Homo-oligomer: A and B are copies of this chain.
Amino acid sequence: MAVNTRERVRQAAVKLFATKGFHGTGIRDLAQEAELSSASLYHYMGTKEDLLVAIMNESLRRLLDAAEQATAGLADPVSRLGSLVALHVLAHAIQPEDTRVVDNEVHALTPAARDGVVALRDAYERLWADAIEDGVAAGVFHTDQPSVTRLALVEMCSGVARWYSPRGPLGLDQLASHYAELALRALGCTRPLGSAHLQNCREVVSGVWRVPV
């Protein structure tokens, strides 16, 4: 019971923080969404900011874990970067609210909390940076500003959380492979992402977020 309630609170918070922003969400909004009194809410959370920090850390932790799983054992930079893109896109497509909270509400964090979030984010982006740098070194990627390119590609993929709808005509597979193609092309690479890698990403996502994908 308690576990479920705690989860309901978390989901209410994710939904509202994503929709109205952290500062735009009142504790009473949260209570209503979670179908609890506002006093009861405090059995399942610390402060409002604790809730935000937990959401952000968990979301980023999962993304990082998933990215590590998806690229574990991949030597080829094209496969690695393509997998990172596909995974990122899939994650943002199936968890758009969590993602938007992570992307948009950093400013609401206390400096201390922000440091932890930024550290996770940096670790995650390191995976992208390594893949790109390795690809450039291997001559399969072509860019004279690898960092700028990395930032551009990550932002491109994160944007998915702002518009993708599972009820639209575009399937997750198409979406992910389309983005992988865009990214690899932008890196000057014509080879597409192998469908085995895409399939692998789906499985990782499915496991990490415990959702059928």
Contact = CB atoms under 8 A, between A and B. Distances in A.
Nearest to A144: B178
Is the contact region of chain A dominated by helix, strand, or loop, or is it mixed?
Answer: helix
A116 interface: no
Copies of this protein in the complex: 4
A28 to B, nearest CB: 12
A151 B174 contact: no
Given A104-B104, A156-B155, A186-B186, A148 B178 contact: yes
Contact of A156 (B21, B24, B153): B153
Interface of A: 19-24, 104, 107-108, 144-145, 148-149, 151-160, 162-163, 170, 174-175, 178-179, 182-183, 185-188
Given A21-B24, A155-B159, 6 more contacts: A21-B21, A148-B170, A148-B175, A151-B159, A155-B162, A185-B185
